[in-house]
Amino acid sequence: KAGVTQTPRYLIKTRGQQVTLSCSPISGHRSVSWYQQTPGQGLQFLFEYFSETQRNKGNFPGRFSGRQFSNSRSEMNVSTLELGDSALYLCASSLAANRQETQYFGPGTRLLVL
Amino acid sequence: GENVEQHPSTLSVQEGDSAVIKCTYSDSASNYFPWYKQELGKRPQLIIDIRSNVGEKKDQRIAVTLNKTAKHFSLHITETQPEDSAVYFCAASFPRDSDSWGKLQFGAGTQVVVTP
Which of helix, strand or coil describes residue A85?
helix
Largest Cα separation within chain A, whole Å, is 42
Which residues of chain B make contact with A56, given a CB cutoff of 8 A?
100-103
- What mean pLDDT is predicted for residues A94-103? 73
- The answer to whether residue B105 neighbours chain A at the CB level (below 8 Å) is yes
DSSP letter string, B19-86: EEEEEEES-TT--EEEEEEE-TTS--EEEEEEETT-SEEEETTEEEEEETTTTEEEEEE-S--GGG-E
Which residues of chain B make contact with A50, given a CB cutoff of 8 A?
102
Residue A97 has what pLDDT? 60
Which of helix, strand or coil describes residue B84?
helix
pLDDT range class, residue A2, cuts 50, 70, 90: confident
Contact A99 B107 (CB under 8 A): no
Question: pLDDT of B24-67, one tens digit each?
Answer: 999 888 888 999 999 998 999 999 999 888 899 999 999 999 99
Q: In this predicted structure, which of A99-108, B5-14, B79-88, B103-112 has the lowest mean pLDDT?
A: A99-108
